[in-house]
Amino acid sequence: MAVYRFDGDIDEGHNLQVPSEVPKGRASIVVIPQSPDSFDWERLKQAVHDAAAGPYHKRNKEEIDAYIRAERDSWE
């Protein structure tokens, strides 16, 4: 597997110009914004607030199984 790293700009239509040496076909794309304006500071603040609100409740097997059953039931 080859890895190609390049910098580029995403335009208003969310298009990205890919260098010609990158082969055609399906690819996994990772976007790392380089502009501080594009960072979602509110989401980070909310995550910090939620983490500070109390201890994380680690679910046990029964709780996880119940959650999965409820999700599957919602698909029908």
Q: pLDDT, tens digit, for every residue of 1-21? A: 788 888 888 888 888 888 888
Q: pLDDT, tens digit, for every residue of 19-73? A: 888 888 888 888 887 776 767 788 888 888 877 777 777 889 999 999 999 999 9
**Do residues 4 and 19 lie in contact, with contact meaning Cβ atoms separated by under 8 Å?**
yes
- Domain boundaries defined on the chain: 37-75
The predicted structure's pLDDT at residue 61: 94
The predicted structure's pLDDT at residue 12: 83
The predicted structure's pLDDT at residue 2: 86
Q: What is the torsional sign of CA 45, 49, 51, 57?
A: negative
